Amino acid sequence: MTEIDPFAESPGLQRVTVRGAREHNLRSIDVDIPRDALVAFTGVSGSGKSSLAFGTIYGEAQRRFFESVAPYARRLIDQVGVPDVDSIDGLPPAVALPQRRSGGTARSSVGSATTVANVLRMLYSRIGTYPPGAPMLFAEDFSTNTVQGACPTCHGLGRVYDVPLELMVPDDSLSIRERALAAWPTAWHGKQLQDSLISLGYDIDVPWRDLPADKRDWVLYTQESPQVPIFTDRSPKEVRKAVAAGVEPRYMSTFLGVKRYVMDTFAGSKSARMREKAAGFMVSVRCPSCGGKRLKPEALAVTFEGADITEVSAMPLDDVVRLMEKVLAPGWGASAPHELPPEKRLAAQRLVTELLGRLAPITDLGLGYLSLDRTTSTLSSGELQRMRLATQVLSRLFGVVFVLDEPSAGLHPADTEALLRILRSLRDSGNTVYYVEHSLDVIRAADWIVDIGPGAGADGGTVVYSGEIDGLRDVEKSATRRYLFDGSGGEPREKRARRSGDARLTLEDVRRNNLADVSVSFPLGAFTAITGVSGSGKSTLINHGIPDLLRADLASRTDEVDDESEPLAQDPLDAEAPVATTGRASGPADRVRRVVQVTQKPIGRTPRSNVATYTGVFDRIRSRFAATPEARRRRYGASRFSFNVASGRCPVCKGEGMIEVELLFLPTVHAPCTACGGTRYNQETLEIRLNGKTIADVLALSVTSARAFFEEDAEIVQHLDALLDVGLGYISLGQSATELSGGEAQRVKLASELRRAPRGDTLYLLDEPTSGLHPADSDRLIGHLQRLVDGGNTVIVVEHDMRVVAEVDWVIDLGPGAGDAGGQVVAAGTPEEVAGRAESRTAPFLQAALA
Ligand code: ADP
Ligand code: ADP
Ligand code: ZN
Ligand code: ZN
């Protein structure tokens, strides 16, 4: 390559100069990257883009930040590691927006994460309509997460436990002595409670239903806990006489009503068995005092434009904007029914202006279909990243470098323009924006491109090109160039005939989230893509509509790949009220015998599960270590090489490889364990080597390198090839499951699935399988899916990349808009048919891809 300095023509241009970067696979690269610009980092998966953008540039900025805020953080920096680079000059402070899911707290919502909720609470406090005579509340009184605001009955959970009558008294023909009160304890304590009732004048030998209603209610529901005299060895009649005569009882006992007994036992018993038994008499119901709204009644009574704060929080943001805009209209608040004094009107307009200002970047990024109360844990990783991006715009930072991981993930081409507007506004307000990206439209919008590669892993790690986009046109060896400038990837497409499928599957009246009585049908034995703007309902259809209805229909035939992902342990009260999918499925019964959802959900929630354990290749690798002569001599079995088994693992970090470091004023960070150097194993285990490598060395290998290392081992190679086929050659075998992006987790699952023998009667459902993939990798992945279909299976994907949509057999376009403005089938047919439909927002983009 000829050495031309792309900065030569504009010497005044500010730049970040990186010298000698060697992080991961980077081959001691030197590169100058402009500041105050949009810069795209491109290259095939595993080429080293992230190692440069995140590992080196962001890593170094973070190290400097630590050093500047906390001199004592030296130790931390030593542990977290310094990027392997000779020098970086001209580097501004950095903010990273990675895709990896860092589990936000369960209670974090769109409103709290974007701080819009704070302004809304202020607005209700200051200018809400209060009931006559009610005192003005503080902003905190409108938060379900504060003691002041939470509904006192359910403590802000929206649901409460109830002990229903039919569980307390399953058979009312029994007497109390015959244990009509089933929820009461048995044995000694039960006898004592029965004796208490005798002393209190109850007849415990008549059927429960024959007791007077007020007496029954008292036994079941009293909150009192009276001390009752207990006489043993006397008949009920004698007991009553003794009580009346004031005879000294044998002892006094505390009486507890049935409901109170169940609740107290559940909340306070030391015995897990007792708590469990009590739970059997309880159900969780919507809180009767707040109606599930989680807020105290005084706060719910305050309204704005007729809605309480929880109602506004549940609206799509687009509707909140419309509601608030009314306030800015001339004449608002000047007349009944909401007449306000001028100073209040002014305050309202200020707060509303502030609120609209905060909502604008969020709705601009195509997230107007979300509501403020939506928990962030239910957002897709792309939605989460865009929400964070919107929040950054609001923070009005300048002089910062933003490092983003695939900001276009999950975006329909029609939404891309809005994303670019936000990125440009960050740049124009004095920031630098670096992004790792695969979407050709977003790459083309950059002022500068840094193309890394040319290949992955050891075949990559060099700067193929750094300069203005147009200059890449002449760089032969760039994989990106082929797609950026002629779309086809340089190689003529294999022209397939569109399949029409051998039968159809029909779903009718599907209802879930924004899908309202939708009917769709898909060809079986064909490849279908679901398209539509973000929020139109694609994920809902592929993750719930199709599998839920088929599961109901095929019941026993269904089998999920996702079963391994551990559910989050949680209190049943924390769970949302269950949401159901309704509708009907019909189709030939024997054509789909298995439904496999390959989702982007994490493959495991602990660092103990990783790519090698999930795919099963680790079992094979461990047995190879156990078979070495030294291991046999020491009698180390295969389990010794698992970091989950005490004999083999590091005793300090218990095989996690990481320890938590608590920092004053900073979030807790995980740092490599110093005892084992992050290897997870104890010294003795690490003394065993297989062809020169320890078990920890092998876990650190990328899939590509491991493929070379185990070349002779057909069984292991077969596993690794499956991972290579889905473009995961760059992932290390020990990469912890919690650090995989949604797209990577999905591809790991897909690899396990592709390795199985194809059966020809399976329906595969994939939500955005190409996210995070370079067009070259995405072509390869789609090739595999095409082969599954050639084998008689059915594949349905959600897809935004029109290059892919142009290749499928059938397209279902949802929309027309997002949220309530979507949820309909706008067009369905072959790609050519959908491309010709004027009412589809996808059509023009699809048409361009078909041309
Ligand atoms: P890209 O962002 O282009 O997909 P990466 O920068 O993530 O590529 O990876 C480049 C190379 O570095 C790959 O070969 C990958 O296996 C390796 N690599 C990535 N992360 C690590 C890590 N934490 N430890 C060791 N190697 C890594
Ligand atoms: P797409 O996949 O097309 O981007 P989704 O299916 O994710 O769209 O969302 C469709 C609609 O359903 C949106 O209005 C979204 O806010 C809503 N929605 C999706 N998931 C949930 C959820 N877990 N809870 C409430 N609403 C949801
Ligand atoms: Zn409540
Ligand atoms: Zn350790």
Q: Which domains does the chain have, with CATH numbers?
A: 15-103+375-486 (3.40.50.300), 116-157+296-367 (1.20.1580.10), 164-281 (1.10.8.280), 503-604+741-850 (3.40.50.300), 611-735 (1.20.1580.10)
Q: Report the nearest atom of ligand 1 relative to the CA of 456.
A: 14
The pLDDT confidence band at residue 562, using thresholds 50, 70 and 90, is very low
Q: Residue 669: what pLDDT? A: 63
Determine the pLDDT at residue 453: 92
> What is the pLDDT at residue 495?
73
Whether the full predicted model's pTM is greater than 0.90, yes or no, is no
Which positions ≥6 away from 766 have C-beta within 8 Å?
542, 598, 746, 750, 785, 795, 796, 797, 798
Closest listed residue to residue 840, CA positions, set 812, 802, 820: 812
What is the reported pLDDT for 572?
Answer: 45
C-beta of 743 in contact with ligand 1 (< 6 A): no
| 181: pLDDT strictly greater than 90 | yes
What does the alpha-carbon distance between residue 410 and residue 439 come to, in Å, rounded to a whole number? 11
Query: Would you say the CB of residue 600 lies under 6 angstroms from ligand 2?
Result: no
Nearest protein CA to atom 15 of ligand 1, as residue: 730
44 CA: nearest ligand 1 atom: 3
Q: Is 537 in the pocket of ligand 2 (CB under 6 A)?
A: yes
In this structure, the residue with its CA closest to atom 5 of ligand 1 is 48
31-58 average pLDDT score: 93
Residue with tokens 């402009």: 34
Q: Output the CA 627–ligand 2 centroid distance in Å.
A: 51
* Separation of CA 832 and ligand 2 centre (Å): 28
Closest Cα to atom 21, ligand 2: which residue?
513
How far does the centroid of ligand 2 lie from the alpha carbon of residue 442, in Å? 24
Kindly identify the ligand whose nearest atom is closest to the C-alpha of 576: 2
Question: Given the CA of residue 823, which atom of ligand 2 is nearest to it?
Answer: 10
Q: What residue's CA is closest to ligand 2, atom 7?
A: 539
- Closest ligand to the CA of 731: 1
236-250, 635-649, 663-677, 746-760: least confidently modelled range? 663-677
Q: Is the pLDDT of residue 147 over 60?
A: yes
The confidence band for 851, taking pLDDT boundaries of 50, 70 and 90, is confident
Q: What is the pLDDT at residue 77?
A: 63
Q: Band of the pLDDT at 10, cuts 50, 70, 90? A: low
4-13, 176-185, 820-829, range with the lowest pLDDT: 4-13
Q: Greater confidence, 672 or 18? A: 18
Query: Among 48-57, 581-590, 623-632, whose mean pLDDT is lowest?
Result: 581-590
The residue whose CA is least distant from atom 16 of ligand 2 is 370
The region of weakest confidence among 50-54, 456-460, 509-513, 808-812 is: 456-460
Which residues are 25's β-sheet partners? Answer: none
Tokens of 784: 């595999």
**CB of 294 closer than 6 angstroms to any ligand 1 atom:** no
* pLDDT band, very low/low/confident/very high, at 329 (cuts 50, 70, 90): confident
For ligand 2, say whether the CB of 315 is within 6 Å of any of its atoms: no
User: Residue 798 CA: which ligand 2 atom is closest?
Assistant: 2
**Where do runs of H (alpha helix) occur along 128-202?**
165-168, 187-199
Q: How large is the greatest C-alpha to C-alpha distance in the chain, in angstroms? A: 113
Report the range out of 242-256, 419-433, 602-616 with the highest average pLDDT. 419-433
Ligand 2 neighbour 199 (Cβ under 6 A): no
DSSP, collapsed to helix, strand or coil, labels residue 22 as: coil
Atom 5 in ligand 2: which residue has the minimum CA distance?
A: 537
Ligand 2 proximity of 543 Cβ (cutoff 6 Å):
no
Indicate the average pLDDT of the chain: 87
Separation of CA 54 and ligand 1 centre (Å): 11
The pLDDT > 90 percentage for the chain reads 54
Q: Ligand 2 pocket test: which of 383, 514, 796, 826 has the largest number of ligand atoms within 8 Å of its C-beta? A: 514
308 band by pLDDT with thresholds 50, 70 and 90: very high
- Following CA atoms 835, 840, 841, 846 in sequence, which dihedral angle do they give, to the nearest 10 degrees? -10
pLDDT tens digits, one per residue of 772-811: 888 988 998 899 899 899 999 999 999 999 999 999 999 9
Closest by CA to 743, choosing from 771, 777, 782, is 771
pLDDT at 566: 33
Cα(748) to ligand 1 centroid in Å equals 16
Distance 674 CA to ligand 4 centre (A): 6
The stretch 495-515 carries a mean pLDDT of: 91
d(C-alpha 532, C-alpha 828), whole Å:
11
Rounded CA gap, 638 and 655, in Å?
16
Nearest CA to ligand 2 atom 18: 513
Residue with CA closest to ligand 2 atom 1: 535
Nearest ligand 2 atom, CA 532: 3
> Tens digits of per-residue pLDDT, 815-847?
998 888 899 999 999 999 999 999 999 999 999
- By the CB criterion, residues less than 5 angstroms from ion ligand 4 are 650, 652-653, 673, 675-676
Task: Please provide the size of the chain in residues.
Answer: 851
Instruction: Count Cα atoms within 13 angstroms, Cβ side, for 106.
Output: 9
Looking at residue 100, its pLDDT comes to 57
Supply the Cα-derived Rg of the chain in whole angstroms.
32
Q: Does the Cβ of 45 fall within 6 Å of ligand 1?
A: yes
Residues 381 and 402: their CA atoms lie apart, in Å, by 18
**How does pLDDT run across 279-304, given as a tens digit for each residue?**
889 888 899 999 999 999 999 999 99
| Residue identifier of the C-alpha nearest atom 2 of ligand 1 | 50
Q: Which residue, by CA, sits nearest to atom 1 of ligand 1?
A: 46
- pLDDT winner (highest mean) among 356-370, 386-400, 630-644, 737-751: 630-644
Inform me whether the pLDDT recorded for 707 exceeds 90: yes
pLDDT at residue 561 greater than cutoff 50: no
Residues 262/282, Cβ–Cβ less than 8 Å = yes
- 522-558 pLDDT, tens digit per residue, is 999 999 999 999 889 999 999 999 998 888 776 544 4
Q: Is 829 left (phi over 0), alpha (psi -120 to 50) or beta?
A: left
- Would you place residue 5 in the very low, low, confident or very high pLDDT band (cuts 50, 70, 90)? low
CA of 433 to the centre of ligand 1 (A): 21
Show the tokens assigned to 79. Answer: 């542990």
Q: Whose CA is nearest to atom 22 of ligand 1?
A: 24
- Report d(CA 810, CA 802) in Å as an integer: 13
The H-or-E segment that residue 40 falls in is strand 38-42
How do residues 460-477 score in pLDDT, each as one tens digit? 999 999 999 999 999 999
Q: Is 149's pLDDT higher than 80?
A: yes
- DSSP string over 603-633: S-SSTT-BHHHHHTHHHHHHHHHHTSHHHHH
Instruction: Please report the atom of ligand 1 found closest to the CA of residue 45.
Output: 4
- For 745-766, the pLDDT digits (tens) are 888 988 888 887 667 889 999 9
Instruction: Please give the DSSP secondary-structure letter assigned to residue 135.
Output: P
Pocket flag, ligand 1, residue 604 (CB < 6 Å): no
Q: Indicate left, alpha or beta for 406 from its phi (over 0: left) and psi (-120 to 50: alpha).
A: left
The DSSP bridge pattern shows strands 401-405 and 762-767 to be unpaired
The three-state secondary structure class of 758 is: coil
For position 746, what pLDDT does the model report? 85
Alpha helices in 667-741 (DSSP H): 683-686, 695-700, 703-709, 714-725
Q: Kindly state the average pLDDT of the residues 100-115.
A: 70
